[in-house]
Amino acid sequence: ARAPIAPGAVHIPDWLAPERQRELLDACREWARPPAGLRTVHTPGGGTMTARQVCLGWHWYPYAYARTVADGDGAPVKPFPHWLGELASRAVRDALDVDASGYDIALINFYDGDARMGMHRDSDEKTDAPVVSLSLGDTCVFRFGNTETRTRPYTDVELRSGDLFVFGGPSRLAYHGVPRVHPGTAPPELGLTGRLNITLRVSGL
């Protein structure tokens, strides 16, 4: 069932079947390994993100994205696999009924029980192609705000393992964040402690 949250923002619970969740989790675990694996991200304001991150296709190299190098160990950024682009196109079609191609970068965030993500906008990409978000593991509270301020009005939505969220149109530039994760709520058969979020994007580079 498609649930529009705001213009261009569509939530499809249970979009990924359990076997597909399992395959995606296995892939994420591979990508998380060094070289160019999981790392802690520092923000321009001097903060440290509590969710750790892996990038495919480009990398946050303070303080801009680049295709060249991972700042931790200097290793090349891992490539963005073709099948992930196909998955993104299918997600956009299912959510918004539009054709989309050119997906070339992924950001994968790993949350433990205490991790959060503050309200922010994603404005580094040079295109307005919809962002595709896939959740695995623990349920979280996802806060979808407005394009003007980090504060109210916003809508809180629970994102569960297997859920798809697509952000296109005016929603692409809305403030959003993850105020909390509910530990221990992952499907037991998945074998994941914590939460994983995969975002698929068009870089425009």
DSSP 186: S
Contacts of 45 (CB under 8 A, 6+ apart): none
Is 122 within any annotated ligand binding site? Answer: yes
How many angstroms separate the CA atoms of 175 and 115, rounded?
Answer: 18
DSSP 43: -
Taking the least distance from each CB to ligand MD3, the nearer of 36 and 160 is 160
Residue 29 has a CB neighbour count (10 Å cut-off) of 14
Contact 139, 158 (CB under 8 A): yes
Rounded to a whole number of angstroms, the minimum distance from the CB of residue 23 to ligand MD3 is: 20
The full DSSP string for 122-141 is ---SSS-PPEEEEEEES-EE
Is 182 within any annotated ligand binding site? Answer: no
How many angstroms separate the CA atoms of 64 and 43, rounded?
Answer: 11
**Residue of the chain from 77, 95, 115, 178 that contacts ligand MD3 (CB under 6 A):** 178
Total residues contacting ligand MD3 (rule CB under 6 A)?
A: 16
Is 128 within any annotated ligand binding site? Answer: no
**Residue of the chain from 131, 166, 181, 186 that contacts ligand MD3 (CB under 6 A):** 131
Rounded to a whole number of angstroms, the minimum distance from the CB of residue 68 to ligand MD3 is: 21
Residues 53-112, interacting with ligand MD3 (CB under 6 A): 107, 109
Interface contacts to ligand MD3, rule CB under 6 A: 107, 109, 117, 122, 131, 133, 142, 165, 167, 171-172, 174, 176, 178, 197, 199
- State the binding site for Fe cation: 120, 122, 176
